[in-house]
Amino acid sequence: MHIHIFTLFPQMFQGPFQHSIVDRAKNAGLVEIHIHDIREYAHDRHHVSDDAQFGGGSGMVMKPEPIFEGVESVLADLTQLEMARTRVILTSPQGRLLNQNLVKELSQQLHLVLICGHYGGVDERIKQHLITDEISIGDYVLSGGEPAAIVVTDAVVRLLPGAVGSVASVQGDSITSGLLQHPIYTRPARFRQWEIPEILLSGNHLEIERWRRQRSLERTFRCRPEMLGKVRLTSEELLYLKTLGYKGNP
């Protein structure tokens, strides 16, 4: 996979992609991450990339010319087949909310182009005629799209085959399974006055999995009950949830 990030602040990406899973995926040749300075595509003497908005109003607006030129210079090198598996994404609080299903969808692409919004936003013609997707990482406003681009990249890269050592680790993640993750423990079995649940020391893997599933159900019900409506539950699991107060239908 190739990920191209267009930003006014390329220095913000110097650290996040040089560690952990993303760095290992880069070194293994699973992903190439290219950081592009939008100002390099502005051809005036001062490399101006933003301007006041027409009609008045506060906040500067990112100009269309350098963004179009930068993104199109990347797209121009792609074949028709590659273009069919390419997404051009604007990070924006107005976009589709990022979730694990969308992350899976993006991980199937060959090329991702991420445009980091900034200031008061981007010229509307970028939204109308250049991007394929507008994505938000949550219902809040950041100072710019750079942190959102880091989040999208990290979430996508870890789903690339070979990026994480164990496929089971990815499949068992919170959200990926449809439920929040069950409690997890490691050594020592007793820390201060707190001991791990005895079932985890039993060696009975069938009962351990049953315990984990119930804890996932309980945690999801307590913290994110809306998720339960999207999960296929057995009659036993529904009965267990009802003992906790769950009012959902089969």
* Sequence-ordered list of residues with C-beta below 8 angstroms from that of 27, at least 6 positions apart, any chain: none
Taking CA atoms, 1 is separated from 51, 109, 135, 151, 247, in Å, by 34, 7, 19, 16, 44
Q: Is the pLDDT of residue 44 over 60?
A: yes
Partners of 33 in beta bridges: 3
Torsion of CA 232, 235, 241, 245, to 10 degrees: 120
Q: Is the pLDDT of residue 250 over 60?
A: no
CA pair distance 53, 233, nearest whole angstrom: 52
pLDDT at 167: 63
pLDDT at 119: 86
pLDDT at 174: 58
The residue type found at 209 is: E
What's the pTM? 0.87
Our measurement of the distance from residue 163's CA atom to the centroid of its chain's CA atoms, rounded to an integer in Å, reads: 15
Q: Is the peptide bond before 161 cis (omega within 30 degrees of 0)?
A: no
pLDDT at 173: 61
| Full DSSP string of 166-224 | -HHHHHTSTTTTSSPPPP---S-SEETTEE--GGGGS--HHHHHHHHHHHHHHHHHHH-
Q: Tell me the pLDDT tens digit for each residue of 143-201.
A: 999 999 999 999 999 999 999 976 655 655 656 778 999 999 999 999 999 999 999 99
pLDDT at 175: 67
Q: Tell me the pLDDT tens digit for each residue of 60-114.
A: 999 999 999 999 999 999 999 999 999 999 999 889 999 999 999 999 999 999 9
pLDDT at 166: 63
pLDDT at 248: 84
Q: Tell me the pLDDT tens digit for each residue of 25-43.
A: 999 999 999 999 999 999 9
Q: Tell me the pLDDT tens digit for each residue of 110-137.
A: 999 999 998 889 999 999 999 999 999 9
